[in-house]
Chain A
Amino acid sequence: MTTPQSLFQKVWGAHAVRVLANGQTQLLIGTHLIHEVTSPQAFGMMRDLGLKVLMPHRTFATVDHIVPTDQLTEPYRDPLAQAMMDELRKNCAQFGITFFDRASGKQGIVHIVGPEQGITQPGTTIACGDSHTSTHGAFGAIAFGIGTTQIRDVLATQTMALGRLKVRRITVNGSLRPGVYAKDVILHIIRTLGVNGGTGYAYEYGGEVFDRMTMEERMTVCNMSIEGGARAGYVNPDETTFAYLKGRPYSPKGAAWDAAVTRWRATASDPDCHYDDVVMINAAEIAPTVTWGINPGQGVAITECIPDPAQAATGDEKSSIEEALAYMKLSPGAPIKGTRINVAFLGSCTNGRLSDFQEVARFLRGRHVAAGVKAIAVPGSQIVAAQAARLGLDKIFREAGFEWREAGCSMCLAMNPDKLIGDQLCASSSNRNFKGRQGSPTGRTLLMSPVMVAAAAVTGAVADAREVFAFTQAN
């Protein structure tokens, strides 16, 4: 009788090539995703060392961080952005790598492209030079972010040196209340366990709430695992996973499909397997959550108030709150609700998928962005944009006063023209609220779910979406 194992142990075991001199594992990376920001120097190193890509057919590229979302044609106004685009094209051509570029109709944010193409599959290891690679764990893969030198390692050897992670099982049972979304689940987890609570761990998410989630919702949660310090986060594959993958361009077909599904089912964690830690969360405790501070763990329920440093439990917490409030220019003890916003951003690898736009569009009919608010909606990929257009969503967003943009990372992170100006306050569906994150050194970010971004956009202030829009018990 074999010992029960977690998915992490099974997939790690199947991909461990050998133990290295320092005790780390030489881990086979089955799928390597690349983009224009972290790869150029790695390809440069490959050329310097005279190396070829070991498995070009297991390497997939797209361009996302630097693309202007208001312009498809080249040359881009920013010569640095154009140079990076040219470099990626050159590198993909030279090394024989599939490049989902903008002419292909398949370009988008790398963590949206992989899954929609069926490249992201259960039981695989996936690496990319981007910390939100944890997103792909939603499919029951071990997926994580790597640095540029490690990109070189994976290009050259399809492996990298990595220490084995521990596994923390996070079980969320019960039912989410109406108006509470997958984004709130992960913001709640990070708030509860802390921004470095997951250091050294992979997070296995499960329980009734996850069983019920769609793949896109699972991706939203797994995406922000790294914000909780966990390098990887995953959900065990199940019928929902297989239904999503069936028929996608890179999914197995015919007899190979049936064989794959059988294997994928077996990849899931065994009952009674060992976890290094277990956390239980009651879904009823999760509220629509908004961050008020300068790291993703500094969040409160929409009904709560901004913390008061005077009430802090420790000296550390006190200075942390003071620093955040000084930067965010928010008042201690004030309700978070009613905080006026300047910008609303819907998009990013966290919440830039079709279901995110569909859910917001339901509530936007007949509503309009408040005067003085700049609102942008950025589909996460060209395919998401096309699907949204077929459903008429782009029209709904435009009529409501949103700018509907081309696919890319956009305002999440300041590498393209979509940036905050001055100390603008942005209601954002993205994943990070660090100082200066959205492009202005004094810009301020409030993280929340897409529907909460929409509620803030139409009222001009942080609002409880359940009071702004009509939610029924069925929502």
Chain B
Amino acid sequence: MSLEKIISLTGRGVGVPGNDIDTDRIIPARFMKCVTFDGLGEYLFHDVRKNADGTDQPHPLNDPRFKGAAILLSGANFGCGSSREHAPQAIQKYGFKAVVAEGFAEIFFGNCVTLGIPCFEASRDDIGKIAAAVGKDPATAITVDVAKQEIRFAGQTVPAVVRASARDALMNGRWDAIGELIEGLPAVKSTATALPYLAA
């Protein structure tokens, strides 16, 4: 399985501010009654973007100025809650290619990497600078750099961390582990044989 090496990417940004934005908010559970991931992008942040009658609530993703953004900016503990992969799938299918936040919930982070979505941790102040630039000019080109661990925008550069194992996987095109895991099958069998509850 040959995957793209993800070194850096450039796009416009949009901020969805707040801490502890959870997976139920990212993709409400009633939209997970599906046997594929197709069409999930439409329901991203649905219940905080839409009223019951289908009209729009005020929300950055409803703001036409930010349409087409590829980089999502947010706060601390982003993606907390469920292990549902539907959350990063909805984010990806909506059109985002990277997320920048103060921190990520662990299962969500891992699910994103598996889909080739780099997640960058940056300080609140630095994310604020990016958001300010985007607010001033939504067309601002933002480059998120996995290799250099920085974010470049509007003539500024701020540091941004991608956890080492994720960084390695993304840069080497091994972010979907299945190929490597299959290579390990002989060792899997011998490890299992040594465990009484699996040896049978």
Interface residues of A (CB under 8 A from B): 14-18, 20-24, 26, 28, 30, 37-38, 40-41, 44, 49, 54-55, 58, 65-66, 78, 80-81, 83-84, 87, 121, 123-124, 129-131, 133, 144-150, 152-153, 156-163, 195-196, 199-200, 226, 229, 231, 259-260, 263, 295, 316, 320, 323, 413-415, 432, 434-437, 439, 441
Contact = CB atoms under 8 A, between A and B. Distances in A.
Given A44-B36, A157-B184, A149 B22 contact: no
A199 B105 contact: yes
Interface stretch (B5-13, B23-31, B131-139): B23-31
Nearest to B124: A316
Given A26-B184, A260-B197, A295-B80, 8 more contacts: A22-B172, A41-B35, A147-B110, A156-B182, A159-B184, A196-B80, A199-B105, A437-B29
Given A15-B195, A49-B178, A150 B36 contact: no
Contacts of B198: 28, 30, 55, 58
A200 B37 CA distance: 28
B107 A145 contact: yes
A157 B188 contact: yes
Interface residues of B, number: 61
Nearest to A78: B33
A414 B36 CA distance: 19
A161 B168 contact: no
Contacts of A84: 33, 35
A148 B192 CA distance: 23
A125 B164 CA distance: 25
Given A131-B82, A147-B107, A157 B181 contact: yes
Interface string B172-198: 101011101110110110011011111
Contacts of A441: 28, 47, 52
B43 to A, nearest CB: 12
Contacts of B22: 295, 432, 434
B47 A157 contact: no
16 contacts: A17-B191, A22-B166, A24-B177, A26-B188, A37-B33, A38-B85, A49-B178, A131-B81, A145-B82, A158-B188, A160-B181, A163-B165, A229-B80, A435-B25, A435-B48, A437-B24
A200 B106 contact: yes
B76 interface: yes
Given A131-B82, A295-B20, A413 B29 contact: yes
A147 B32 contact: no
A333 B183 CA distance: 59
Interface of B: 18-20, 22, 24-25, 28-30, 32-37, 47-48, 52, 76-77, 80-86, 88, 103, 105-107, 110-111, 114-115, 163-166, 168-169, 172, 174, 176-178, 180-182, 184-185, 187-188, 191-192, 194-198
A195 B80 contact: yes
Nearest to B192: A28
Nearest to B84: A38
B106 A229 contact: yes
Nearest to B170: A22
Contacts of B115: 149
A160 B35 contact: no
Contacts of A49: 178
Nearest to A194: B77
Contacts of A260: 196-197
Given A14-B195, A26-B180, A414-B30, A436 B25 contact: yes
A415 B188 contact: no
Contact of B182 (A22, A66, A157, A199): A157
Nearest to B181: A157
A41 B168 contact: no
Nearest to A419: B30
A66 B82 CA distance: 16
Contact of B81 (A21, A38, A263, A434): A434
A372 to B, nearest CB: 23
B106 A231 contact: yes
A152 B85 contact: no
A158 B185 CA distance: 9
A129 B82 CA distance: 9
A78 B34 CA distance: 12
Nearest to A442: B52
Given A22-B168, A161-B177, A432-B24, A199 B103 contact: yes
Most buried by B among A22, A162, A200, A320: A22
Contacts of B188: 17, 26, 28, 54, 157-159
A196 B106 CA distance: 9
A39 to B, nearest CB: 9
Contacts of B82: 130-131, 145
A182 B93 CA distance: 40
B47 A153 contact: no
Contact of B77 (A26, A145, A195, A434): A195
A149 B88 CA distance: 11
B67 to A, nearest CB: 23
A133 to B, nearest CB: 8
Pairs A-B, 6 closest by C-beta atoms:
A145-B83, A147-B85, A22-B168, A40-B35, A80-B33, A147-B111
Contacts of A437: 24, 29
A436 B172 contact: no
A41 B37 contact: yes
B162 to A, nearest CB: 11
A153 B181 contact: yes
A22 B165 contact: yes
Contacts of A129: 83-85
Given A149-B115, A413-B29, A323 B18 contact: yes
Contacts of B177: 20, 24, 153, 160-161
Contacts of A432: 22, 24, 81
B19 A316 contact: yes
A15 to B, nearest CB: 7
Given A30-B195, A434-B24, A80 B184 contact: no
